[in-house]
A and B are shown apart, each in its own frame.
Chain A
Amino acid sequence: MARTITYREAINEALAQEMERDDSVIVMGEDNAGGEGSPGEMDAWGGVLGVTKGLYHRFPGRVLDTPISESAFIGAAIGAATAGMRPVAELMFVDFMGVCFDQIYNQAAKFRYMFGGKAVTPVVIRTMYGAGLRAAAQHSQCLYPLFTHIPGLKVAVPATPYDAKGLLTQAIRDDDPVMFFEHKALYDVAGPVPEEGYALPFGEANVVREGGDVTIVALGRMVHTSLEAAEQLAGDGVQCEVVDLRTTSPLDEDTVLESVEGTGRLVVVDEAHPRCSMATDISALVARKAFGALQAPVEMVTAPHTPVPFANTLEDLYVPDAQRIANAVKATAEWTR
Chain B
Amino acid sequence: MTDTVDQRALTRGQLLSAYRMMRTIREFEERVHAEFATGEIPGFVHLYAGEEASAVGVCRNLDDRDTIASTHRGHGHCIAKGVDIGEMMAEIYGRKTGSCHGKGGSMHIADLSKGMLGANGIVGGGPPLICGTALAAKIKGTGGVSVAFFGDGASNQGTTLESMNLASVWNLPAIFVAENNGYAETTSSTWSVASDNIADRAAGFGMPGVVVDGFDFFAVHEAASEAIARAREGGGPTLLEMKFTRYFGHFEGDQQTYRADEVEHARAELDCLRRFAARTTETGELTRSDLDAIDAEVAAMIDRAVTEAKAAPPPAEADLLTDVYVRY
Contacts and interface: CB of A to CB of B under 8 A. Distances in A.
Given A115-B108, A116-B99, A119-B112, A83 B324 contact: no
B169 A114 contact: no
B135 A72 contact: no
Main SS class of interface, A: mixed
Given A84-B136, A115-B108, 14 more contacts: A66-B169, A67-B162, A71-B159, A71-B163, A73-B128, A79-B135, A80-B135, A102-B122, A114-B103, A114-B108, A118-B110, A154-B328, A174-B326, A176-B325
A87 B322 CA distance: 25
Contacts of A303: none
16 contacts: A71-B162, A71-B163, A72-B128, A72-B163, A72-B166, A75-B128, A76-B132, A77-B132, A79-B69, A80-B132, A103-B125, A115-B110, A116-B99, A118-B100, A119-B110, A176-B328
B165 A79 contact: no
B178 interface: no
B139 interface: yes
B132 A79 contact: yes
B140 A102 contact: no
Given A83-B133, A84-B140, A76 B128 contact: yes
Contacts of B118: 111, 114-115
A175 interface: yes
Interface in A28-74: 61-62, 64, 66-67, 69, 71-74
A116 B122 contact: no
Contacts of B135: 64, 76, 79-80, 85
Contacts of A75: 127-129, 131-132, 159, 163
B101 interface: yes
Chain A to chain B: the 5 pairs with minimum beta-carbon distance, closest first: A75-B128, A79-B132, A117-B323, A116-B100, A79-B129
Interface in A83-107: 83-85, 87, 99, 102-103, 106-107
A116 B125 CA distance: 19
B113 interface: yes
B85 interface: no
Interface in B104-147: 104, 108, 110-113, 117-118, 120-122, 125, 127-137, 139-140, 146
Contacts of B159: 71-72, 75, 102-103
B98 interface: yes
B230 to A, nearest CB: 20
B133 A80 contact: yes
Contacts of B323: 112-113, 116-117
Interface of A: 26, 61-62, 64, 66-67, 69, 71-85, 87, 99, 102-103, 106-107, 111-120, 151-152, 154, 174-176, 203, 250
A174 B117 CA distance: 21
A152 B136 contact: no
Interface of B: 67, 69, 98-104, 108, 110-113, 117-118, 120-122, 125, 127-137, 139-140, 146, 158-159, 162-163, 165-166, 169-170, 322-328
B169 to A, nearest CB: 6
A93 B261 CA distance: 51
Contacts of A112: 323-326
Contacts of B137: 83
B128 A115 contact: no
A45 B266 CA distance: 57
A317 B158 CA distance: 38
B104 A114 contact: yes
A67 B128 contact: no
A250 to B, nearest CB: 5
A174 B102 CA distance: 26
Name the residue in B108, B140, B169 with the highest tally of chain A Cβ atoms < 10 Å from its Cβ: B169
Contacts of A87: 132
A72 B136 contact: no
Nearest to B130: A79
A83 B136 contact: yes
Given A79-B128, A102-B125, A106-B122, A72 B162 contact: yes
A69 B122 contact: no
Contact of A176 (B136, B158, B163, B326): B326
A87 B136 CA distance: 10
Contacts of B120: 107
Nearest to A121: B326
B327 A176 contact: yes
Given A73-B166, A175-B326, A113 B103 contact: yes
B125 A107 contact: yes
Given A111-B118, A115-B112, A83 B158 contact: no
A37 B238 CA distance: 22
A118 B125 contact: no
Given A67-B166, A116-B323, A154-B325, A76 B125 contact: no
A111 B140 CA distance: 23
Contact of A76 (B98, B111, B131): B131
Contacts of B140: 84
Given A75-B159, A151-B324, A152-B325, A26 B139 contact: yes
A79 B117 contact: yes
A52 B118 CA distance: 33
Contacts of A77: 132
A77 to B, nearest CB: 6
